[in-house]
Chains A and B, each alone.
Chain A
């Protein structure tokens, strides 16, 4: 019989070896995969993308900025630029201007990148912080045909989940509109049009603050080293660096719908409220499901009962009893919360009054 100590040692070694090989992100397999990114073609495509973005933002690309984008030495960057020139994608390595072919190529890469981010946002459960990184990898892999098929399957989205427009298959790209967040006057309202997803640390801070494109915000006041803004009724503080990565568009008409910060999660069991809307951060299948269930502006929801563990809660939505989890409840903004939803004498028009009169009539 095998000595148990020996057997256990061998087992431990095997487990350790497997961990070293397969551990996500740091294992040998993962490193090998990301190492392939260093291929020549990938570098050329990344350089093209950088040059295009520089032109698009009216900034002059330099050898330093190219090397920065490629995370390589300047000599490698220079080599890559030379290759691009040979391929007829860049006019000259000095001016770094793209040729028409180069521009079209860059747009295809950007299109793939942004579509893939849209795909991750709408059809998968991948966390927002990981979208960019995964798209960086995928943009070099998908063929044009696959991208077109993806585009059709996703319902030809127009913007990526950060608010960047997605180039069309014919290579058109709309100009982004908007201005930096910090340029807003105190008290003015705006809609977020774009969140920059690089670098990841700053983007994570924006996600933490609960920001997402198409969300309405209000500038409270600039504060030393940053700004204070109101998002979904909460006031958050962003430092100057993070705020610099937010683009907004002013909305002069005060938005009537966001009466407050209340979400469905604030409705007590037995209470009721009227739907104002679903937060823009709820996208894709999740959003469609809520809409199909009848969670549309004006619908009155009654919180019938909480489950024994407190989450989920069952709501009466247009006649049916539907359980929603707390995450979903937080997406649904509501107004006119009534503590006690008595069926007989309230309807959506009366809710506002019943808040005052029915408060003490709990059964």
Chain B
């Protein structure tokens, strides 16, 4: 391999890659992976990189982007998975990210994943990619689905039409991946020349303007590989491209900043016209480019260049006035016309026949007026039942292991090595116990809920749920896909907030993020169930107690959904009124889910990440809880002082100081609210002194909760208030952090944090005062 490639990247290019958020490790070939959503792009990514992938976020962006490095024929290939987009017009964040990477990240080769069953639509993105870069390999994926639908694609013809290699694949079974790798390698090293097709029939006014602008661009940037594309983008007033022209950055995108010329093997069947068109500025060695890029030019020359840049922009803005106003429409229409033409030439069946009878039957069952909602309710009930019932056993096993077995063992160990009481107390009773609580309560339900959820998603059912419920969500100004993030929120709000990424309209996404907290999460179910069975179930005759307390919990969850719809409605009509809003919802074809792959990814992507964040926040919480209850000021611990301080306000809203303090220290995780309340109650209630292991230690299992709470003066009203407040209060710190990461805005994070808190205080206050007014409480 040539040494210039092994060095990774040229200096200026490395800079722009770092700016684009790429981790600067070493590689020989940089591969970008582009494609429409739902084309199996991530399957191709996984098939290419194997399990050595790690996922990461774009800095400052909300879009997930995965990178992976693997070796092929002794070379390190780095694959960057770009967000799935329909187009590269840079009208959404995803599109901007994808476009900027293709343009300024200058991958050695771009793999465009194309859905063989939707060739025409996918070609739209491909044609736009070919305008930017010549070095493209088409991965014609989902060939098995195409065959199943009776679509026959003439791959050779398609390759001839497009002028770039086309590799048919079935990524989920690994078919065609070797050929894809070879094609990637050959195009990246320029052993295989490409001669991409261009859309050349734009509206006459556009063509005329582009023709006048192109010479000026070539004048200013002689080595540009795609002056025509730059001309069109300037005529469309693309801010990023204008900026790149002004600063001269675009000049770095010289043709073939890649390896020295190789005796290339031309592609079959394209030699005739590729010779005729030729390639601009090919064969420049990378070192020469680098020298040109960093060398200090004489100042006079510099000024001349700057003038040339300005001239390009001036001419572009002048020409823009000669264009019809809907120039963008005509460009898109031309691209689609070309796509249609190519698809027609390469496909033997009309693309119309793509929905199988099975898909139609399923859709008729899952989205029809009469069966849509019942089936949906049934499926969701089964999912929740599986989660709650299935999590019980492992949860109590974990609790027995971590809390009843490991915790005393740790304390014993501490005593045996002569740890001072404060150290073992801090580490084992504070930090360890809090973390153990969180893990044993949180892990099992999430490990069941998320994989099931992901399976439904992969199968294609969840988009149908969004489709079914969109009518409801539309009325409150939200997006049907909010049904997904809401349901996900029942598992974990942080995961629910992440799940709002599927909503591509800014206003609806904010609504979904802010209201996600109204989905009663997993960490709050135990609080509800415990209080409902002690205080509400006790009101009913013994035989019905279970049913009554269960209905109370479901009732709270329903109040949460009402709050979600109400808040969505209010937000979309007040503070969020001005945010931009678009709607589109693609219903992908049903695909048999791959169980193992799903288990793996949902465990990695959702369960473990969320658990990790929760643990990270639980550790300091455990420390704070232990410290506040064990460090005395005067004759009382800090916690007792705080409880006294919060007492009057607590009484006003029908809670008490202990509950409020517990919610303050338990911000990191709702799971530890109940243990914290119990611990603090014992700490500050004189009648309970000496109970359990003693003050300042989170409880081990097996104490009489009912007795403790009633001794501390809890009434039915207190319990109902705690249940309501558990629903309506600030999100846990994991969720707050996630909201901040997703929105990048302090303002919206604050709204999402404080709005439910204000609502919670208002509701408990009104309930308490009204009950007292009528002599209750």
The answer to whether B765 and A11 have CB atoms under 8 Å apart is yes
How many angstroms from the CA of A199 to the CA of B765 in the assembled complex?
47
> A296 to B580, Cβ gap below 8 A?
no
A124-B119 Cα distance, complex, nearest whole Å: 33
Docked-complex contact B580 and A312, CB < 8 angstroms: no
Contact between A314 and B467, CB atoms less than 8 A apart: yes
Contacts of A311 in B (CB 8 A): 470-471, 474
A319-B119 Cα distance, complex, nearest whole Å: 8
Q: Is A347 an interface residue (CB 8 A)?
A: yes
With an 8 A cutoff between CB atoms, is B412 at the interface?
no
Chain A residues with a Cβ closer than 8 Å to the other chain, count: 65
Question: Chain A contacts of B337 at CB under 8 A?
Answer: 298
Residue of A nearest to B95 (CB): A292
Residue-wise, chain A 153-168 has the 8 Å CB interface mask toward B (1 for contact) of 1111111000000001
B53 within 8 A of A: no
Name the B residues within 8 Å of A156 (CB-CB).
237, 317, 320
Contact status of A322 and B585, CB under 8 A, knowing A294-B124, A309-B472 = yes
Q: Give chain B residues whose Cβ lies under 8 Å from the Cβ of A302.
A: 352
A292 x B87 contact (CB < 8 A): yes
Q: Please tell me which one of the listed residues A4, A5, A289, A312 contacts residue B467 in the complex, with CB atoms under 8 A apart.
A: A312
Contact in complex: A214, B325 (CB < 8 Å): yes
Interface string of B577-609 (1 = CB under 8 A from A): 111111111111100000000000000000000
Given contacts A158-B321, A296-B332, contact A323 B470 (CB under 8 A): yes
Given A311-B474, A314-B467, do A291 and B773 touch, yes or no (CB 8 Å)? no
Question: Which residues in chain B, 441-494, are within 8 Å of chain A measured between CB atoms?
Answer: 467-468, 470-472, 474, 480
How distant is the Cα of A158 from the Cα of B318 in the complex, in angstroms? 11
| Contact of A155 with B329 in the complex, beta carbons under 8 Å | no
A331 CB to closest chain B CB, in angstroms? 11
**Is A234 interfacial (CB-CB < 8 Å)?**
no
Among A303-334, those with CB < 8 Å from B are 304-305, 307-312, 314, 316-325, 328
| Assembly CA distance A288 to B372 (angstroms) | 31
Give Cα A292–Cα B355 distance, bound, in whole angstroms.
21
**Contact bitstring B759-777, A, C-beta under 8 A = 1, else 0:** 0000001101110110000
Name which of B238-246, B422-430, B748-756 contacts chain A. B238-246
Do the beta carbons of B353 and A343 come within 8 Å of each other?
yes
Contact of A292 among B118, B124, B480 (CB under 8 A): B124
- B24 at interface, CB cutoff 8 A: no
Within 8 A of A (CB), among B226-283: 236-239, 242-243
A210 at the interface (CB under 8 A from B): no
Q: Is B394 part of the binding interface, using a Cβ–Cβ cutoff of 8 Å? A: no
Stretch of B191-199, B361-369, B520-528, B634-642 that contacts chain A: B361-369
CB distance from A270 to the nearest CB of B (A): 11
Using a CB-CB cutoff of 8 Å, which residues 617-656 of chain B contact chain A? 651-652
Across the interface, do A155 and B467 meet the contact criterion of CB distance under 8 Å? Answer: no
The answer, yes or no, to whether B388 is at the interface (CB within 8 Å) is no
Instruction: Select from chain A the residue with minimum beta-carbon distance to B36.
Output: A320
Q: Which residue of A lies closest to B370 (CB)?
A: A308
Distance (whole angstroms) from the CB of B466 to the closest CB of chain A: 8
Q: Which residue of B lies closest to A341 (CB)?
A: B352
Q: Is A88 interfacial (CB-CB < 8 Å)?
A: no
A67-75, A78-86, A278-286 - the one binding chain B: A278-286
Contacts of A294 in B (CB 8 A): 120-121, 124, 336
**A361 located at the interface, meaning its Cβ lies under 8 Å from any Cβ of chain B in the complex:** no
In the complex the two chains form, is B118's CB within 8 Å of A325's CB?
Answer: no
Whether B470 contacts A325 by the Cβ 8 Å rule is yes
Contact A124–B471 (Cβ < 8 Å)? no
- What is the bound-complex CA distance between A125 and B582, given in angstroms? 9
Asked whether B580 lies within 8 Å of A285 as measured between CB atoms, the reply is: yes
- Contact with A8, one of B238, B472, B583, B769 (Cβ below 8 angstroms): B769
Please tell me if A21 contacts chain B, counting CB pairs below 8 Å.
Answer: no
Query: Which of B120, B239, B768 lies in contact with A318, CB distance below 8 A?
Result: B120
Q: Are B355 and A152 in contact (CB under 8 A)?
A: no
How far, in Å, is A320 (CB) from chain B's closest CB?
5
Residues of chain A lying within 8 A (CB to CB) of residue B124: 292, 294
Which chain A residues (255-295) contact chain B, with CB distance < 8 Å? 278, 284-289, 291-294
Q: In the complex, what's the smallest C-beta–C-beta distance from A191 to chain B, in angstroms? A: 10
Partner of A152, one of B243, B333, B583, B651: B243
A138 to chain B, nearest CB (A): 12
Assembled-state Cα–Cα distance A299/B117 (Å):
17
**B332 to nearest A CB, angstroms?**
4
**B351 close to chain A: CB less than 8 A:** yes
Interface members, chain B 303-339 (any A CB < 8 Å): 317, 320-321, 325-326, 328-329, 332-333, 336-337
CA distance A292 to B86 in the complex (A): 6
Residues of A within 8 A of B202 (CB): none
Chain B positions within 8 Å of A297 at CB level: 333
CB-based contact B470/A307 at 8 Å: yes
In the assembled complex, the CB of B317 is this many whole angstroms from the nearest CB of chain A, namely 6
Within 8 A of A (CB), among B487-539: 507
In the assembled complex, B411 has its CB within 8 A of some CB on chain A = no
Q: How far is the CA of A323 from the CA of B92 in the complex (A)?
A: 19
Tell whether B574 is near chain A: CB-to-CB under 8 Å. Answer: yes
Are A291 and B470 touching (Cβ within 8 A)?
no
Tell me how far the C-beta of A269 lies from the nearest C-beta in chain B, rounded to whole angstroms. Answer: 11
Q: Judge whether B121 and A320 touch: CB under 8 Å.
A: yes
Complex: how many Å from CA A319 to CA B116? 10
Residue of A7, A124, A323 touching B587 (CB-CB under 8 A):
A323
CA distance A5 to B585 in the complex (A): 51
Decide if B354 is an interface residue (CB 8 Å cutoff).
yes
Minimum C-beta distance from A190 to chain B (A): 16
**Distance (whole angstroms) from the CB of B399 to the closest CB of chain A:** 38
Q: How far, in whole Å, are A5 and B38 apart by their CA atoms in the complex?
A: 59
CA distance A321 to B325 in the complex (A): 30
Contact B332 A125 (CB under 8 A): no
- Interface presence of A2 (CB below 8 A): yes
Q: What are the residues of chain A within 8 A of B121 when measuring CB–CB? A: 293-294, 317-320
Contact, CB under 8 Å: B471 / A291: no
CB distance from B232 to the nearest CB of A (A): 13
* In the complex with contacts A158-B321, A305-B363, A347-B350, A2-B652 CB distance below 8 A: yes
Is A322 a contact partner of B769 (Cβ separation < 8 A)? no
A29 adjacent to chain B (CB < 8 Å)? no
Which residues 120-163 of A sit at the B interface, judged by CB distance below 8 A?
Answer: 120, 123-126, 152-159
Residues on A with C-beta less than 8 A from B651 are 1-2
* Contact assessment for A323 and B772 in the assembled complex, using a CB-CB cutoff below 8 Å: no
Establish whether residues B329 and A291, one from each chain, have CB atoms under 8 Å apart when the complex forms. Answer: yes
Whether B89 sits at the interface, judged by CB under 8 Å, is: yes
State the CA gap A287–B577 with chains docked (Å). Answer: 19
In the complex, A39 has a CB within 8 A of chain B: no
B352 pairs with A347, CB closer than 8 A: yes
Contacting residue for B351 out of A126, A285, A318, A328, CB 8 A: A318
Contacts of A293 in B (CB 8 A): 86, 121, 584
Smallest CB gap from A6: residue in B: B769
Taking the closest CB of chain B, its distance from the CB of A9, in whole angstroms, is 10
For residue B360, give the distance in angstroms from its CB to the closest CB of chain A.
Answer: 8
Looking at the assembled complex, report how far the CB atom of B467 sits from the nearest CB atom of chain A, in whole angstroms: 5
Interface flag for A24 (CB, 8 Å): yes
- Contact between chains at B118 and A319 (CB < 8 Å): yes
Chain B residues with Cβ below 8 Å from A362 are none
Min CB distance A263 to B, Å, is 16
Q: Are B120 and A152 in contact (CB under 8 A)?
A: no
Q: How far is the CA of A343 from the CA of B574 in the complex (A)?
A: 46
**Digit string of B130-170 for contact with A (CB within 8 Å is 1, else 0)?**
00000000000000000000000000000000000000000
A323 touches which one: B243, B467, B577 (CB < 8 A)? B467
| Contact yes or no, A288 B91, CB < 8 A | yes
11 CB-based A-B contacts, threshold 8 Å: A8-B773, A125-B578, A156-B320, A214-B326, A285-B580, A297-B333, A307-B367, A311-B474, A312-B467, A314-B587, A347-B350
Interchain residue pairs A-B with the least CB separation, the first 3: A309-B471, A319-B118, A156-B237
| Apart from the given pairs A4-B769, A158-B325, A324-B583, 10 other A-B contacts in the complex at a CB distance below 8 Å | A1-B772, A155-B236, A284-B580, A289-B584, A291-B329, A291-B333, A304-B363, A312-B480, A319-B117, A320-B118
